[in-house]
Amino acid sequence: MSSTQNSTIARNFVEEIFNARSTEAAKNFVTPDIVYHGMGEEVNGIEEFKKWVSEDLRVSRHEDHNIR
């Protein structure tokens, strides 16, 4: 996969999940057994990932996420 394709996937991930506020779109980008390691936290599985995203969306309700 080219860097252009990777960038497109990353942009779509942010746009569809965070900016469009659609946690259900996560299934299009991550596997059911996702393990996310963030700043001092670990998220296991797609349902926990969607809960984590929902919390992020609640906290940053008025901000769009950007990726370059």
pLDDT at 64 (0 to 100): 56
Instruction: Say which residues have a Cβ less than 8 Å from residue 13's Cβ, sequence separation at least 6.
Output: 29
How far apart are the C-alpha atoms of 62 and 27, rounded to whole Å? 24
Q: Which residues are registered as beta bridge partners of 43?
A: 36
Convert the pLDDT of each residue in 6-23 to its tens digit: 999 999 999 999 889 899
Helix, coil or strand: residue 44: strand
The torsion angles phi and psi of 31, rounded to 5 degrees, stand at: -85, 160
Convert the pLDDT of each residue in 9-64 to its tens digit: 999 999 999 889 899 999 999 999 999 997 888 999 999 999 998 887 777 655 55
pTM of the model: 0.74
